[in-house]
Amino acid sequence: MSCISDNRLRVCGIVDGTTVDGPGLRTSIYFAGCRHHCPGCHNPSTWDFNAGTELSAEYLMERIADNGFAVTFTGGDPMYSATALLPLAKRICNAGLSLWIYTGFTIEEIFSAGGDMAALADMADVIVDGPFIESLKDTRLLFRGSSNQRLVDMTATKKNGHVVEYTPTF
């Protein structure tokens, strides 16, 4: 299932200048569609692939560029729409902006699946991976909701050939 139709992406919301979805000020884009349906999810309104509003990738990139902030793809689960998001992710990377992606898949599942999911993950600086597990909820954790979720440093992970967790430098 893709969140794109005629070069338009299904967006449930955009938060400009947030500090909760990664370090620094970020433009967080909440994409529609998720099949994980994690109990206790804080965004169940984004599970429906038809939720939100259709926005063009061009509009999103203009808004991102105007803000000048790093970018976070969240949702829903952006990996369900990896094919549709690849062109936008490439533009974000070409603009020299950091990209974080939240997903209910583990990085191992993403790379086992290969294809566009792996290609999208390759463009991210950090993947926040794993499903939200309500019994493991911990509000003290940085940038994630449950202790099973990892902040995967994608540059270090690709370089070292094994999962390397992101360590904040602030």
Over the stretch 98-140, which tens digit does the pLDDT of each residue have?
999 999 999 999 999 999 999 999 999 999 999 999 999 999 9
Give the separation between CA 23 and CA 43, rounded to whole angstroms. Answer: 21
| CA–CA dist 47, 38 (Å, integer) | 10
Number of domains in the chain: 1
Per the structure, the complete domain to which residue 79 belongs is given by 8-160
105 or 5: which leads in pLDDT: 105
**Span 16-42, average pLDDT:** 96
pLDDT of 168 strictly over 60:
yes
Decide if 2 is inside a domain. Answer: no
Residue 36 within a domain: yes
> What's 48's domain CATH number?
3.20.20.70
Please report whether residue 25 resides in a domain: yes
Identity (one letter) of the amino acid at 21?
A: D
Q: What is the pLDDT of residue 5?
A: 45
Strands (E), the chain: 8-18, 26-31, 53-56, 70-75, 99-102, 126-129, 150-153
- For position 111, what pLDDT does the model report? 95
pLDDT digits (tens, 9 = 90+) for 130-167: 999 999 999 999 999 999 999 999 999 999 999 999 99
- Domain annotation covers residue 3: no
Q: Within a domain: residue 49?
A: yes
Residue 167 lies in a domain: no
> Is residue 67 included in any domain, yes or no?
yes
pLDDT band for position 8 (cuts 50, 70, 90): confident
In a domain, 168, yes or no: no
Q: What is the pLDDT of residues 35-69, one digit of tens each?
A: 999 999 999 999 999 999 999 999 999 999 999 99
